[in-house]
Amino acid sequence: MPTSPSSMINQYKFEDESELRDLFITVDDPESHITAIETFITYRVVTKTSRSEFDSSEYEVRRRYQDFLWLKSKLEEAHPTLIIPPLPEKFIMKGMVERFSEEFIETRRKALHKFLNRIADHPTLTFNEDFKIFLTAQAWELSSHKKQGPGLLSRMGQTVRAVASSVRGGVKNRPEMFTEVNDYMETFSQKINVLDKIAHRIYKEEREYFNEMKEYGPIHTLWSASEEDIADSLKGVASCIDKCCKATEKRMAGLSENLLPIIHEYVLYSEILMGVLKRRDQIQGELDSKVDALANKKAEKDLITEEIGKLEDKVECANNALKADWDRWKQNMQYDMRSAFTNVAENNLRYYEEAHNLTRNHSC
Amino acid sequence: MLHKSLFSSSKKMEDCLSKKIEITVSEAEKRTGRNAMNMQETYTAYLIETRAVESQNEGQCSPVDSLWRRYSEFELLRNYLLVIYPHIVVPPLPEKRADFVWHKLSADNMDPDFVERRRIGLENFLLRVASHPVLCQDNIFYSFLTQEGGWKEMVNETGFQLKADSRLKALNATFRVKNPDKRFTELKHYSDELQSVISHLLRVRARVADRLYGVYKVHGNYGRVFSEWSAIEKEMGDGLQSAGHHMDVYAASIDDILEEEEHYADQLKEYLFYAEALRAVCRKHELMQYDLEMAAQDLTSKKQQCEELATGTVRTFSLKGMTSKLFGQETPEQREAKIKVLEEQIQEGEEQLKSKNLEGRDFVKSAWADIERFKEQKNHDLKEALISYAVMQISMCKKGIQVWTNAKECFSKM
């Protein structure tokens, strides 16, 4: 797990540098499975790669949401202070969307696709063994692999210890830098949540507007039926309104395809980042409590000193990993936000330009 | 202003009042007073200003006459015109109460925006009457514009209320006309359709306006969040901040856009109410036709009665005939007297029928002339209104293009 900061810097990859990619993943083809106990959806995961670690250059497997959850927890376990990309939520209550509605499945599919690609683009996570197994193993192979590894109990034990140590330390000796990150994330988290609400509200308003516009054009056509002299003018207005209506539908779709998913992803990211900072603090806390123990106990000094040495390494690695990943995350965030909002502006621009031309041509 | 330009282009207007005097409703003022039941009331008074046109052309500044009128006086004037000129499609007044409102507009009569739009509507009404070849020559109308005191009494002295046919107000009552004039039936049908389709259009327009308002205003929320977010960002800060400003501009722009659209809605409303005036003319014709047929029927039955009495034959069953059979005939003198009365009535009836027929033909001729005039005006006005609506939409799109071009530039700098 420990990697030096310098090697990580060399492996910086941004989403748009697809020429450097050697791993291509798609998530598609949702399928419903009905058993006696449950109904669930599987997605097809296709991987194309030129990497030598992979036995083949192409893989096709089917995975369900549970499998993605497993992968995420394995990655978190292996890299506690790296920023693991978010998974779509289990079940969204706020939107009036049914669990297996087409809209819900499609939104989830896109998010799962994003999830795997973000991992593939991550300089460290892309080489994770569980990730490779996830992409390549057949269903039964994956099940048996899942059963191996640290059991639930040992994981629980870790958590208990972590909680205990976090109560005592971690925050006290936290490097200045991470306090800054923490403060930043608190504000960012607030703002991104508000943005999420605003973006959804805009979508809703645009949809309501579209629904009313659909009715507006046809009335003019109806009116033209009782007129002679102005019938053509009225029909022209009707046609113009109908065309503008279609343009507004495009604008609406653009919002739902681009801005809404990105903002939502960063809402989830802000939760993840708070978790990563906590885990870093926990690791620090372990070290701090051992240092305190050294001060109190006169006996076992050598043993404790040795443990402290190991923990100091652990803390240094954790800090370095997080710092590098944090810088990378910020760069990606800036890129994602810039392109998402620019896209929104372009959609609106396109809409107004189209509406302008349509109306001008009609009134000539 | 839009309305005035329409009038200067109208054709048969050499004698019209609008060419001789300039009319404006320039101000509106809140007043309090006591009403007929001595209760305190608040109302709005409108200032009507008139100025002779001729002396303006000579470069002289002619004096402005002015007086105050309230809405109820306009209503009185219109009711008078309706009764005295039943063959004319009388221009409508702006609505009494705010209708077809979308949520931001107040439905309150005292709301300043409503009062302002009503002021324009009242001015439009006066200009319409002043440019009508027949109505503009009316004395009561002229006095309405020029004589502040005693006008109400003058109107009432004309006794027009007595001439009013109460049946015209009874919209639901049907009068079976045996030989309806096909043109008027078609016209009545058209006026119903026009009224229905314009109402529908105005209702949907109000809903569309409401939704459009929502879309624009919600973008205003971006401004504050972007500003707060920019505080924690080093590189993205400027782009976010300035983009937020443009979102505020976008959100604010809808107010003017929708206010302008309200004028378009008012233009449509005028024709919604014109449809009613059109139907009133058809109705009047229907009633005249009905009265004519009733009078003819009455005359025929009287002639029949006369004939029966004279010849002693009873062709049709009548209670009188039966009773006289049962209880004995009348004396020859009684019969003679009856015949004489009937003959007088018949003569009267024939004269009345003749004048009613003439009246009917005159009505049809002058009504149809005004209807043709109205049709031309309507087609012209509605075409212009639709064009001005398109112009408004184009302007809205231009504003949108500008704002989003600016926003895009800011976002790309994030």
pLDDT digits (tens, 9 = 90+) for B250-272: 999 999 999 999 999 999 999 99
User: What is d(CA A256, CA A203) in angstroms, rounded to the nearest whole number?
Assistant: 7
Between residues B379 and A146, which one has the greater pLDDT? B379
What pLDDT sits at residue A98? Answer: 58
User: What is d(CA A189, CA A178) in angstroms, rounded to the nearest whole number?
Assistant: 16
What pLDDT sits at residue B57? Answer: 59
The mean pLDDT value for A204-226 works out to: 95
pLDDT at B1 over 50: no
What pLDDT sits at residue B95? Answer: 87
For B168-222, the pLDDT digits (tens) are 766 556 777 888 889 999 999 999 999 999 999 999 999 999 999 999 999 999 9
Q: Which residue of A has its CA nearest to B232?
A: A184
Beta-carbon pairs below 8 A across chains A and B: 133
Between residues A97 and A23, which one has the greater pLDDT? A23
Backbone angles phi, psi at A228, to 5 degrees: -115, -65
Contact call for A198 and B231, based on CB within 8 A: no
Query: pLDDT grade, residue A93 (50/70/90)?
Result: low
pLDDT at A85 over 80: yes
Q: Which residue of A has its CA nearest to B214?
A: A205
pLDDT at A174 over 80: yes
For B337-356, the pLDDT digits (tens) are 888 888 888 888 899 999 99
The mean pLDDT value for A169-185 works out to: 85
Rounded to two decimals, the pTM is 0.83
What pLDDT sits at residue B2? Answer: 36
Residues of A in contact with B386 (CB under 8 A): 230, 233-234, 237
The mean pLDDT value for A209-217 works out to: 95
Chain B: give the shortest CA distance to residue A155, in Å.
36
Q: Which residue of A has its CA nearest to B186?
A: A226
Residues of B in contact with A234 (CB under 8 A): 386
pLDDT at A46 over 90: yes
Q: Would strands A23-34 and B21-34 be described as parallel, antiparallel, or unpaired?
A: unpaired
Contact call for B412 and A201, based on CB within 8 A: no
pLDDT at A111 over 50: yes
Query: pLDDT grade, residue B274 (50/70/90)?
Result: very high
pLDDT at A160 over 70: no
Report chain B's mean pLDDT, rounded to a whole number: 86
pLDDT at B247 over 90: yes
Query: pLDDT grade, residue A269 (50/70/90)?
Result: very high
Q: Residue A39's beta-bridge partner residues? A: A34
What pLDDT sits at residue A293? Answer: 80
Least confident of A312-321, B67-76, B244-253, B297-306: B297-306
User: What is d(CA A51, CA A41) in angstroms, rounded to the nearest whole number?
Assistant: 30
One-letter-per-residue 3-state SS of chain A: CCCCHHHHHHCCCCCCCHHHCCEEEEEEEEEEEECCCCEEEEEEEEEEECCCCCCCCEEEEEEEHHHHHHHHHHHHHHCCCCCCCCCCCCCCCCCCCCCCCHHHHHHHHHHHHHHHHHHHHCCCHHHCHHHHHHHHCCHHHHHHHHHCCCCHHHHHHHHHHHHHHHHHCCCCCCCHHHHHHHHHHHHHHHHHHHHHHHHHHHHHHHHHHHHHHHHHHHHHHHHHCCCCCCHHHHHHHHHHHHHHHHHHHHHHHHHHHCHHHHHHHHHHHHHHHHHHHHHHHHHHHHHHHHHHHHHHCCCCHHHHHHHHHHHHHHHHHHHHHHHHHHHHHHHHHHHHHHHHHHHHHHHHHHHHHHHHHHHHHHHC
Backbone angles phi, psi at A328, to 5 degrees: -65, -40
Contact map slice: B 171-210 vs A, CB within 8 A: 190, 193-194, 197-198, 200-201, 204-205, 207-208, 210
pLDDT at A165 over 70: no
User: What is d(CA B219, CA A341) in angstroms, rounded to the nearest whole number?
Assistant: 13
Least confident of A80-94, A191-205, B317-331: B317-331
The mean pLDDT value for B91-95 works out to: 93
The mean pLDDT value for B73-98 works out to: 92
Query: pLDDT grade, residue B165 (50/70/90)?
Result: confident
The mean pLDDT value for B62-76 works out to: 89
- A90 touches B at CB < 8 Å: no
Q: Which two tokens stand for residue B158?
A: 């004309």
pLDDT at A338 over 90: yes
Contact map slice: A 18-37 vs B, CB within 8 A: none
What pLDDT sits at residue A69? Answer: 94
User: What is d(CA A261, CA A250) in angstroms, rounded to the nearest whole number?
Assistant: 17
Query: pLDDT grade, residue B32 (50/70/90)?
Result: confident
Q: Express as a percent the part of chain B with pLDDT over 70.
A: 87
Q: B149-168 as b/e, with b when 16 or more CB fall inside 10 Å?
A: eebeeebeeeebeeebeeeb
Predicted complex ipTM: 0.85
Least confident of A8-12, A183-187, A228-232, B130-134: A8-12
User: What is d(CA B211, CA A245) in angstroms, rounded to the nearest whole number?
Assistant: 13
pLDDT at A283 over 60: yes
- A335 touches B at CB < 8 Å: no
Contact call for B390 and A359, based on CB within 8 A: yes
Backbone angles phi, psi at A4, to 5 degrees: -80, 150
For B34-57, the pLDDT digits (tens) are 877 888 888 889 999 998 876 555
Contact call for A206 and B215, based on CB within 8 A: yes
pLDDT at B327 over 60: no
Other CB atoms within a 10 A radius of the CB of residue B219 amount to: 25
What pLDDT sits at residue B258? Answer: 93
pLDDT at B8 over 50: no
Least confident of A270-279, B9-18, B273-282, B345-354: B9-18
- A337 touches B at CB < 8 Å: yes
Least confident of A182-186, B101-105, B299-303: B101-105
Between residues B6 and B166, which one has the greater pLDDT? B166
Least confident of A158-167, A266-275, B37-46: A158-167
The mean pLDDT value for A314-341 works out to: 94
Chain A: give the shortest CA distance to residue B219, in Å.
7
Residues of B in contact with A356 (CB under 8 A): 394, 397-398, 401
- Report how far apart, in Å, the C-alpha atoms of B281 and of each of A343, B83, B174, B196, B284 are: 58, 11, 15, 18, 5
What pLDDT sits at residue B148? Answer: 85
Residues of A in contact with B407 (CB under 8 A): 345, 348
Residues of B in contact with A336 (CB under 8 A): none
Query: pLDDT grade, residue A12 (50/70/90)?
Result: very low
- B397 touches A at CB < 8 Å: yes
- B234 touches A at CB < 8 Å: no
The mean pLDDT value for A57-68 works out to: 93
Q: Which residue of B has its CA nearest to A218?
A: B201
User: What is d(CA A146, CA A150) in angstroms, rounded to the nearest whole number?
Assistant: 10
Between residues B8 and B229, which one has the greater pLDDT? B229
Contact call for A356 and B394, based on CB within 8 A: yes
- B236 touches A at CB < 8 Å: yes
Contact call for B414 and A194, based on CB within 8 A: no
Residues of A in contact with B379 (CB under 8 A): 229-230
Chain A: give the shortest CA distance to residue B248, in Å.
14
Identify which of B211, B404, B412 has the shortest CB distance to residue A349.
B404
What pLDDT sits at residue A13? Answer: 42
